[in-house]
Amino acid sequence: MRTLTYFTATSLDGFIADPKGGFGDFLFEGDHMTALYEEYPDTLPAQAREAMGIDAENKTFDTILMGRATYQVPGGLPSPYPHLRQYVVSTRLTTTPDDVEVIADPLPKVRDLKQEPGLGIWLCGGGRLAATLLPEIDELILKIHPIVLGKGIPLFAGDFPTTRFTKATTRTFDTGVIFTTYTKTDA
Ligand SMILES: NC(=O)c1ccc[n+]([C@@H]2O[C@H](COP(=O)([O-])OP(=O)(O)OC[C@H]3O[C@@H](n4cnc5c(N)ncnc54)[C@H](OP(=O)(O)O)[C@@H]3O)[C@@H](O)[C@H]2O)c1
C-alpha cells in the first residue's frame, strides 16, 4: 500500500504561508534548495523544473493532492505539476485542464489511491485540506525554515484529532533550514 505524505515548508511557528498566502519569507537559495532539486524533483512545479533544466524521473511521488486555495495560488499554472497525477480538492471549481481532476470528497479518494500500485502520494497543502486528511497522513516531511511569522496559513487548519508522530530523520542545512521526517505513530 502506498503512503500519503504531507511534504511542505513551514515556519518555526507552524505557518505554511503568510496571511495573504504568500511564501516569499521562506528561503529559496542555499544548500537546502540543492537537496530539494536533487532529491525531490517531483515536488517542483513546471516553471521551476523548466527554469532549472530539470527533467528527472519521479523519485518519491507520482500523485499530488492540492486544496483549491493551493491550486489557485497567484502565479500558478493551470496544470502546475504535469509530471504527476494531479487532483484538486474543491466543491466549487468547475473548469480545469484534462490532466487536473477535481474531487469533492478527498478521504475516500485517498483511501482508493493508496490501494493502487505506484510511488507515494504527495499532499501538497494547504492547511485546510491537511486537517481533513490527517487521519490518512502516514508521513510528514517538514522543511522547517528559520523564521517566526507570527501569523499566516497554519500547517493544519480546522478540526482534527490529536495525532502523534515519531521522528524518523532530521537533516540540518547551512541555511538553517531543517528537513524533518515524521511517521504516524500506531494508535
Ligand atoms: N509552504 C508550502 O510549502 C505550501 C504548500 C501548499 C500550500 N501553501 C499555502 O497554503 C495556502 C492555502 O492553504 P489553505 O489552508 O488556505 O487552503 P487549501 O487547503 O489549499 O484549500 C482550501 C480549499 O480546498 C477545498 N477543500 C479543503 N478541504 C476540503 C474538504 N474536506 N472537502 C472539500 N473541499 C475541501 C475547499 O475548496 P472549495 O471552497 O472550492 O470547496 C477549500 O476552500 C496557499 O495560499 C499556499 O500559499 C504553502
CA of residue 70 to ligand 1 center, whole Å: 5
Residues with CB under 6 A from ligand 1: 8-9, 16-17, 21, 23, 67-70, 73, 89-93, 104, 106, 124-129, 132, 153, 157
Task: Give per-10-residue mean pLDDT for the chain (187 aa).
Answer: 97 97 95 96 96 93 98 93 98 96 98 98 98 97 98 96 94 98 88
Fold of 4-184: Dihydrofolate Reductase, subunit A (3.40.430)
C-alpha cell at 123: 499532499
CA of residue 174 to ligand 1 center, whole Å: 31
Our CA angle for 12, 75, 54, nearest 5°, is 80
pLDDT for res 33: 97
3-state secondary structure 1-52: CCCEEEEEEEECCCEEECCCCCCCCCCCCCHHHHHHHHHCHHHCCHHHHHHH
Q: What residue's CA is closest to ligand 1, atom 6? A: 125
What residue segments make up the domains of the chain, in order of their start? 4-184
pLDDT for res 4: 98
C-beta atoms surrounding 185 within 10 Å: 9
pLDDT for res 16: 98
pLDDT for res 88: 98
pLDDT for res 108: 98
